[in-house]
């Protein structure tokens, strides 16, 4: 029988990171740490179970053995989500992600990458890139890239602790310096960079750009801002709700009850306090996966957390 699963963090030492994930009780192994992959069945950062009888197994192992018990009664070909913590000590590259159709055709059958961010902390002047300025055409964008003037085309937005941002595939975006976020995304590691501040990696070379593919997938007609928008469904307020993921902010001072309905696993990432579920303690900065087969469950404790699952949308 499956039970609430915790995992060893998978740390990434990308050059834009820092050491601010220690604020979330992370025991960092690199001088510079950009990401902690919390729940992942992706080959580029595979989660390993850290608790219970399944300790030492990868999330992919468990998915392949118990796909319906883990993910619910719907058919899924691969584990659908990837949950991360990000410490943007410096700004990330300006980038874009493909949708499912483009990724499948051009990235060896991979999933696309729709994602959303919850801002755990941010310095007072923090901002990020959310799309292009209104009216920017493909021709103007290409000219700006060629002339190293891409900043003139970008739409900058100020953010603060507690904000949330939905990033659909095709939207040009970048996390600015001084922001810690939880990222809920499709299980994909496909990113097309269009600008990277001429930075060099550990090998002394500039990181590659992917201009041609980026131009294939950028939605130049995207104008809707999906920032701090509540989506109400059946009396529940969500930070994001689409066919890829549903995300809630949960605050509880005693008991929080929920039910997977055997439709999807649930995940929680704790940003304040902690809780216990079926004898498993989950503290600040930790994440837990509740398998779909558990159905009804109770989180006991005072906590604040970001919850995600895959909703039943056709």
* Residue 224's pLDDT band (cuts 50, 70, 90): confident
Q: Answer whether residue 51 shows pLDDT above 80.
A: yes
Q: What is the pLDDT of residues 115-124, one digit of tens each?
A: 999 999 999 9
Specify whether the CB–CB gap between 266 and 258 falls below 8 A: yes
Q: Which helix (H) or strand (E) holds 224?
A: none
| CA–CA distance, 163 with 157 (Å, rounded to integer) | 11
pLDDT in the model for residue 110: 95
* Residue 1's pLDDT band (cuts 50, 70, 90): confident
* Residue 293's pLDDT band (cuts 50, 70, 90): very high
pLDDT in the model for residue 74: 86
With a pLDDT cut of 90, the percent of the chain lying above it is: 93
* Residue 77's pLDDT band (cuts 50, 70, 90): very high
Q: What is the pLDDT of residues 258-267, one digit of tens each?
A: 999 999 999 9
Q: Which helix (H) or strand (E) holds 138?
A: helix 138-146
Q: What is the pLDDT of residues 181-223, one digit of tens each?
A: 999 999 999 999 999 988 887 788 888 899 999 999 999 998 7
- 231-309 matches 7-217 in CATH topology: yes
pLDDT in the model for residue 223: 77
> What phi, psi does 105 have (nearest 5°)?
-80, -30
CATH 3.40.1670.10 is the classification of domain 231-309: no
**DSSP-assigned states of every residue in 273-309:** E-EEETTEEE-TT-EEEE-GGG-EEEEESSEEEEEEE
**If one looks up domain 7-217 in CATH, what number appears?**
2.60.120.10
pLDDT in the model for residue 240: 98
Least confident stretch, 172-176, 199-203, 248-252, 263-267: 199-203
pTM of the predicted model as reported, rounded to 2 decimal places? 0.96
- What is the residue extent of each domain of the chain? 7-217, 231-309
| CA–CA distance, 283 with 133 (Å, rounded to integer) | 41
Q: What is the pLDDT of residues 125-149, one digit of tens each?
A: 999 999 999 999 999 999 999 999 9
**DSSP-assigned states of every residue in 58-123:** BHHHHHHH-HHHHH-SS--SS--EEEEEEEESSPPPEEE---HHHHHHHTTT-----EEEEEEEE-
Per-chain mean pLDDT for the chain? 96
Which residues form the catalytic set? 193
Specify whether the CB–CB gap between 250 and 267 falls below 8 A: no
Q: Answer whether residue 52 shows pLDDT above 90.
A: yes
Task: Single out the residue of 292, 309, 295 nearest to residue 71, CA to CA.
Answer: 292
- Residue 83 pairs in a beta bridge with 39, 184
With a pLDDT cut of 70, the percent of the chain lying above it is: 100
């Amino acid at each position: 029988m499956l039970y609430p699963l915790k995992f060893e963090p998978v740390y990434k030492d990308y050059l834009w990171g820092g050491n601010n994930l220690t604020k979330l009780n992370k025991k960092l192994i690199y001088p510079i740490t950009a990401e902690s992959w919390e729940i992942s069945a992706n080959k580029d950062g595979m989660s390993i179970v850290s608790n219970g009888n399944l300790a030492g197994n990868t999330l992919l192992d468990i998915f392949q053995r118990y796909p319906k018990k883990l993910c619910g009664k719907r058919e899924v070909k691969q584990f659908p989500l990837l949950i991360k913590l990000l410490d943007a000590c410096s700004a990330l590259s300006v980038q874009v992600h493909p949708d499912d159709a483009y990724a499948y055709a051009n990235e060896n059958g991979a999933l696309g990458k729709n994602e959303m961010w919850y801002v755990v902390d941010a310095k007072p002047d923090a901002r990020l890139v959310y799309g292009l300025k209104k009216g920017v055409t493909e021709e103007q964008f290409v000219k700006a890239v060629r002339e190293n003037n891409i900043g003139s085309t970008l739409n900058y937005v100020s953010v603060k602790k507690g904000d949330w941002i939905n990033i659909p595939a095709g939207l040009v975006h970048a996390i600015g310096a001084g922001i810690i976020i939880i990222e809920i995304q499709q299980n994909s590691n496909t990113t097309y960079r269009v600008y990277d501040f001429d930075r060099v990696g550990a090998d002394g070379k500039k990181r590659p750009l992917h201009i041609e593919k980026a131009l294939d997938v950028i939605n130049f007609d995207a104008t809707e801002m999906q920032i701090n928008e509540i989506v109400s469904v059946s009396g529940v307020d969500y930070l994001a709700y689409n066919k890829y993921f549903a995300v809630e902010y949960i605050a509880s001072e005693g008991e929080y009850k929920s039910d997977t309905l055997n439709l999807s696993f649930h995940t929680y990432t704790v940003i304040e306090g902690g809780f216990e579920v079926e004898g498993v303690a989950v503290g600040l900065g930790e994440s837990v996966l509740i398998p779909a087969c558990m159905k009804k469950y109770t989180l006991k404790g005072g906590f604040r957390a970001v919850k995600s699952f895959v909703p039943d949308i056709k």
